[in-house]
């Protein structure tokens, strides 16, 4: 198997095998992951939290899956949130949970439960 240092060294090439036309995004993601893995950042913080924006079909989900596959060996090692489900201001409760005093506030939201 490929060592982690080899993966980090060639991460952009690995991602470009699956993601086409998103050079800046791939470069930014690879740089952030390398920073996190080589100890330049606080080890108590997450490797990264990435928000990919854009119209359908530009490679947001594919980049996420390619990164998960490259780093964790499984493209399903992501938390995917379809933001089109949160168009109304009150629907944010589905994401982070209802505030205290509201029915279901102890249940948490889709994002908070996944994390």
H helices of the chain, in order, are: 4-9, 11-16, 23-37, 60-72, 92-96, 110-114
- Distance between CA atoms of 110 and 59, rounded to whole angstroms? 23
Residues 41 and 92 occupy one common structural domain: no
Count of domains for the chain: 2
Residues 68, 93 within the same domain: no
Residues 6+ apart with CB under 8 A from 24: none
Asked if 60 and 54 count as a contact pair (C-beta separation under 8 A), the reply is: yes
Note whether 53 and 30 are same-domain residues: yes
Kindly state whether residues 67 and 87 are assigned to the same domain: no
Does some domain include residue 8? yes
Are 68 and 89 part of one and the same domain? no
Query: Domain range holding 11?
Result: 4-72
Question: Is residue 64 located within the same domain as residue 95?
Answer: no
Tokens of 2: 């490929």
How many Cα atoms are found within 13 Å in the side-chain-facing hemisphere of 44? 0
Task: Clarify whether residues 63 and 16 are in a common domain.
Answer: yes
- Which uninterrupted H or E stretch holds 17? none
**Distance from C-alpha of 106 to C-alpha of 87, rounded to nearest angstrom:** 23
Instruction: Enter the pTM of the model.
Output: 0.75
Tell whether 78 is covered by a domain.
no
Question: Do both 14 and 68 map to the same domain?
Answer: yes
pLDDT value at 1 more than 60? no
Q: 35-82 pLDDT, tens per residue?
A: 888 777 677 777 778 888 889 899 999 999 999 999 889 999 888 888
Query: Which tens digits make up the pLDDT trace of 8-21?
Result: 899 999 999 999 99
Q: Is residue 77 part of a domain?
A: no
Q: Are 88 and 67 in a shared domain? A: no
């Amino acid at each position: 198997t490929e060592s982690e240092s080899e993966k980090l060294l060639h991460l952009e090439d690995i991602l470009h095998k699956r993601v086409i036309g998103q050079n800046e995004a791939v470069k930014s993601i690879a740089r952030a992951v390398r920073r996190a893995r080589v100890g330049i950042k606080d080890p108590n913080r997450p490797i990264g939290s990435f928000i990919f924006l854009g119209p359908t079909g530009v490679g947001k989900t594919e980049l996420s899956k390619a990164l998960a596959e490259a780093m964790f060996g499984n493209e399903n090692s992501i938390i995917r949130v379809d933001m089109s489900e949160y168009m109304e201001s009150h629907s944010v409760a589905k994401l982070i949970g209802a505030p205290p005093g509201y029915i279901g506030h102890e249940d948490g939201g889709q994002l908070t439960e996944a994390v």
